[in-house]
């Protein structure tokens, strides 16, 4: 009976592989040596099917046919780029999240803190917020299922589902003796592309764009119109830092809000003739001449790089910050049988100057197994619309490079141990949220006291270095005076470490304020607080406030 069941499922799965292969062969792909190529495919499918069938049916231990097939698919895809992935039916909602920015849920993000599943953020206007769930709440059960030993993604799957369905969540809140039960109704959660838009200085508008789902262009359009209604826009900052990308069409739509109608924005080219497409702006821009600065960092990727690259190549604005990620590949989502899908890299994209910004060659590995990149000496030069020199590969290099402030090891360790997050839980268990107006000396004193109770410690970069230097001095038979000086230096550095809170006070106050304002005013409060003391933003504002410098850079003079 088991053998017959295995054979039946094996036949279905092999049929799926064959159907995928036939779909690829009949989709217009014409290889250089057609007959030989088709023979290789048929031969490979025949061998693969036979190996799969024999192992699934006759291996000494029972093999799950579906898991075994999944392992085979993942093995094949692992030889390609990391963006070509198989998506099973169970994870199909991730595709809808990618393309439309929506899913069925309660409006929270969750994560693991100190071995517990906790609510990290609560989205404005959805079921969880209306019911009174707050960041820091520990989730104990979802619909009667204990989640204390589950991973965040497993708990996330339990909270998600069809809009309109009910979910019961058991919460433990700091300051409350007994767990609290919340009965929530799942809703269609629409993730925002534009998460913040406001004036940061007189005339200088700011828009943060965090993703590129289908409505990204519409949200940028709405943000610009609302900003115009508030006052005159003399300069605009478009923040793409941390934006991993999304839909190519959405990137084109965003660029169209700034460049002349008919401008070439991006070109795609793949192996198949129908992958070669040109995308141009088809609308009149909302801000045709307003000075524009695009903020980028190493996490700005894909569609973000199309926007930043097009703005740079068309000399429509300046890119400021740090170099982008370097993803110049285009993916197409192909439907498979049984609700599965294949996200397949089908083309490369080229921004208006004609350059590709792809950094890694995934089809070529070096001897050490690391994927190859093109050295700077072999990168070709291209020209922007005004004749400025730009280079291919390796992402988008900013017109003005400005590194973000390094908060230092103490602040990084506070983040790593989630102590800003935990203190906010404790603080608001004892204080009313509506009375909080910002981090002051009293709040900082409470935080310092909290860290002392937690016996917080961290490592400075100098930790261990002096000890290592002393060992070298001993091996080299340095004088006793030198060794004594090193001991004095070690003691001085240890004493200076005790002053860490004072030395990092400005950064601590800023990061703590971000966490606290997120509890008081939600995502908008978090972003607004994070912009205070933002070095890259500050430089962007100064550039826009100095038209002479701005236009000199645009013209390449």
Minimal CA–CA distance to 306: which of 323, 291, 327, 277? 327
Q: Do strands 400-401 and 318-321 pair parallel, antiparallel, or not at all (unpaired)? A: parallel
199 contacts 205 by C-beta, under 8 angstroms = yes
Retrieve residue 118's tokens. 């906790």
Exactly one of 253, 313, 315, 399 is catalytic; which is it? 313
Active site residue 530: no
Catalytic residue among 192, 215, 257, 327: 327
Q: Compute CA distances 374 → 306, 349, 354, 380, 393, whole Å.
A: 20, 17, 17, 10, 7
Q: Is 327 a catalytic residue?
A: yes
Residue the block writes with tokens 């990391």: 82
The residues near 418 (Cβ < 8 Å, ≥ 6 apart) are: 113, 114
Q: Which two tokens stand for residue 497?
A: 């470490």
CA distance 201 to 204: 5
Residue of 302, 304, 353, 356 marked catalytic? 302
Residue 405 bears catalytic tag: no
Pull the structure tokens for residue 397.
Answer: 């290099």
Quickly count helices (H) and strands (E) in the chain.
18, 23
- Which residues, including other chains, have CB under 8 Å from residue 298's CB and lie 6 or more apart? 322, 323, 324, 325, 395
Distance (Å, whole) CA 413 – CA 508: 11
Closest by CA position to 543, among listed 396, 404, 391, 401? 401
Please answer whether residues 550 and 305 qualify as being in contact, where contact means their C-beta atoms are separated by less than 8 angstroms.
no
Q: In this structure, what token pair is assigned to residue 246?
A: 């999304």
Half-sphere exposure of 259 (CA within 13 A, CB side): 28
For residues 96 and 103, the answer to whether their CB atoms sit within 8 Å is yes
The residue count of the chain comes to: 557
Spatial contact of 300 and 286, defined as CB atoms under 8 Å apart: no
Enter the DSSP assignment of 124.
T
CB 469 within 8 A of CB 488: no
- Our CA angle for 12, 16, 22, nearest 5°, is 140
- Annotated catalytic residues are 302, 313, 327
């Amino acid at each position: 009976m088991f053998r017959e069941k295995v054979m039946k499922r094996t036949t279905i799965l092999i049929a799926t592989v064959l159907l995928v292969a036939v779909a690829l062969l009949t989709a217009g792909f014409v290889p250089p040596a057609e007959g030989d190529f088709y023979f290789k495919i048929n031969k490979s499918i025949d061998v693969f099917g036979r190996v799969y069938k024999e192992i699934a049916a006759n291996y000494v231990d029972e093999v799950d046919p579906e898991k075994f097939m999944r392992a085979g698919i993942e093995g094949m895809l692992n030889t390609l780029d990391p963006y070509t992935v198989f998506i099973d039916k169970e994870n199909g909602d991730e595709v809808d999240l990618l393309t439309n920015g929506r899913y069925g849920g309660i409006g929270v993000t969750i994560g693991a803190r100190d071995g517990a599943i906790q609510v990290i953020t609560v989205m404005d206007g959805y079921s969880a917020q209306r019911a009174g769930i707050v960041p820091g709440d520990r989730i104990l059960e979802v619909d009667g299922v204990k989640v204390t030993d589950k991973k965040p993604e497993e708990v996330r799957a339990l909270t998600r589902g069809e809009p309109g369905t009910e979910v019961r969540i058991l919460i433990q809140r700091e300051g409350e003796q007994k767990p609290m039960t919340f009965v929530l109704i799942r809703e269609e959660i629409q993730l925002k592309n534009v998460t913040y838009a406001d004036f940061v200085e007189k005339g200088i508008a700011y828009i943060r764009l965090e993703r590129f789902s289908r409505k990204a262009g519409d949200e940028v359009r709405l943000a610009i119109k609302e900003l115009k209604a508030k006052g005159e826009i003399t300069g605009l900052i478009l923040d793409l830092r941390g934006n991993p990308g999304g839909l190519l069409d959405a990137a084109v739509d965003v660029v169209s809000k700034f460049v002349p109608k008919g401008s070439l924005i991006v070109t795609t080219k793949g192996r198949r003739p129908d992958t070669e497409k040109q995308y141009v702006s088809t609308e009149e821009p909302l801000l045709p001449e307003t000075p524009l600065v695009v903020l980028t960092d190493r996490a700005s990727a894909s569609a973000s790089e199309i926007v930043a690259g097009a703005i740079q190549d068309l000399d429509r604005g300046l890119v400021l910050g740090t170099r982008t990620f370097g993803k110049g590949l285009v993916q197409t989502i192909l439907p498979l049988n049984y609700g599965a899908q294949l996200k397949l890299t089908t083309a490369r994209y080229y921004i208006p100057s004609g350059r590709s910004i792809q950094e890694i060659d995934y089809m070529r590995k070096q001897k050490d197994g690391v994927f190859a990149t093109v050295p700077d000496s072999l990168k070709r030069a291209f020209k922007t619309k005004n004749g400025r020199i730009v280079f291919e590969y390796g992402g988008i290099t900013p017109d003005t490079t400005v590194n973000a402030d390094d908060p230092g090891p103490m602040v990084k360790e506070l983040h790593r141990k989630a102590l800003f997050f935990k203190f906010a839980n404790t603080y608001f268990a004892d204080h009313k949220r509506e009375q909080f107006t910002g981090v002051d000396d009293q709040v900082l004193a409470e935080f310092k006291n909290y860290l002392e109770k937690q016996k917080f410690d961290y490592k400075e970069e100098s930790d261990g270095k002096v000890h290592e230097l002393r060992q070298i001095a001993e091996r080299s038979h340095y004088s006793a005076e030198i060794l004594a000086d090193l001991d004095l230096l070690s003691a001085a550095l240890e004493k200076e470490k005790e002053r860490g809170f004072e030395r990092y006070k400005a950064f601590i106050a800023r990061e703590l304020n971000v966490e606290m304002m997120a509890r008081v005013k939600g995502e908008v409060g978090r972003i607004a607080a994070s912009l205070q003391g933002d070095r890259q933003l500050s430089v962007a504002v100064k550039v826009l406030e100095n038209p002479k410098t701005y236009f000199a850079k645009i013209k390449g003079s």
